[in-house]
Amino acid sequence: MSDGASTKSWLDELNDLIDELAKRINTHRDRLVKSESTTRYALIDPLLSKIGWNLADPSQVLTEYTPPKRFAAEKPPRLDYAMWSEGRVCLVVEAKPLDKDLGDEESDQAMAYCFKTQCQHYVVTNGKQWTGYDLDPNLDVDEQRVFDFSVTEQREIMELLWLWPGNFRGKTARPRLHQKTDEERPSVPDRLAPLPPSPRVGTPLGELVYKKGMSRPHRLAFPGGTTTDLFRRWARIQPATVEWLIHTGRLESLPLQNKRGTYLVNKAPTRANGDQFLSPREVRDGVWIDTHFAPANHLKKAQEILEACGIDPSTVRVELE
């Protein structure tokens, strides 16, 4: 390298690749929309490789993988990409031709395979749109969505770090979206400072009542203007609320309890009586919540968490689609 040349970081290289893929989509769209295999070679394989998956190593990645039958009448699905860790399938990636709808029967079949095994993580992509799921049979499909990433539209590139192979090491690994470093976070205000005015967009959290079939949640808007995407998942409301409380210095001590003494947030995935949370989720290192709830209860728990921290839930707003 010549003197004065700058060294690009891995994230810079990833961003450059995304730009190149966007150009490739615009240039070769007519061919890509007609062929899944061309979409895979031109768009999907390069991104998976850049994220860290070695597509040439069968111990890491098997393409066109058909799982063994568990009983004679079963017809196992064919998985476009089966990602492996410690001898098990840890992530399934379903590929489609460019611009193909991402929700069809083939995707449902691969998702069903994940539900029947220990694989809890699933991605479907047409090369332009990437959608990731953290599968939970207790939630609707939309509520299991972890991220949506578009190669050609305004994007948050850090979401792709969910796909990094290191996130899937270990039999109980549960990859999480990138969380901002201390340098990336806004400065923490004085804990005793009054809250800024409440945003006026959306429905106050304290007044929102869940009804079956209602619009999905788009984002949370907190006092002061901070917003958090919810990716159409009611289950995101609790962790997003806890993240905001941590970032603003308002989650002072754990465990955090409601008026009945129920642990809402704890430094371990356990209840007051010592029992394990039914569906524990680690929001941050050493900060746990229980997410085993229906949509109406996700709202209720988020409200209780805010109230336990002395914050009126109506000062937080939920924007629906």
Answer whether residue 1 shows pLDDT above 60.
no
Answer whether residue 282 shows pLDDT above 50.
yes
> Residue 41's pLDDT is what?
96
Range(s) for CATH 3.90.1570.30 in the chain? 10-168
DSSP states of 87-136 as a string? TEEEEEEEE--TT--S-SHHHHHHHHHHHHSS--EEEEE-SSEEEEEE--
Per DSSP, 270 falls in state B
Name the residue among 192, 242, 204 with its Cα closest to residue 319.
204
Categorize the per-residue pLDDT at 70 as very low, low, confident or very high, splitting at 50, 70 and 90: low
Q: Which fold has domain 10-168?
A: tt1808, chain A (3.90.1570)
User: In terms of pTM, does the model score above 0.75?
Assistant: no
In sequence order, the 6+-apart residues with CB closer than 8 A to the CB of 167 are 161, 173, 175, 176
Answer whether residue 49 shows pLDDT above 70.
yes
In sequence order, the 6+-apart residues with CB closer than 8 A to the CB of 30 are none
Name the residue among 89, 134, 122 with its Cα closest to residue 282.
134
At 234, which amino acid appears? Answer: W
Task: State the sign of the Cα–Cα–Cα–Cα dihedral 60, 159, 187, 243.
Answer: negative
Digit-coded pLDDT (tens) for 93-120: 999 999 888 766 656 767 777 776 778 8
Cis geometry, peptide bond prior to residue 223 (ω within 30 degrees of 0): no
> Residue 69's pLDDT is what?
75
> Residue 181's pLDDT is what?
43
Categorize the per-residue pLDDT at 3 as very low, low, confident or very high, splitting at 50, 70 and 90: very low
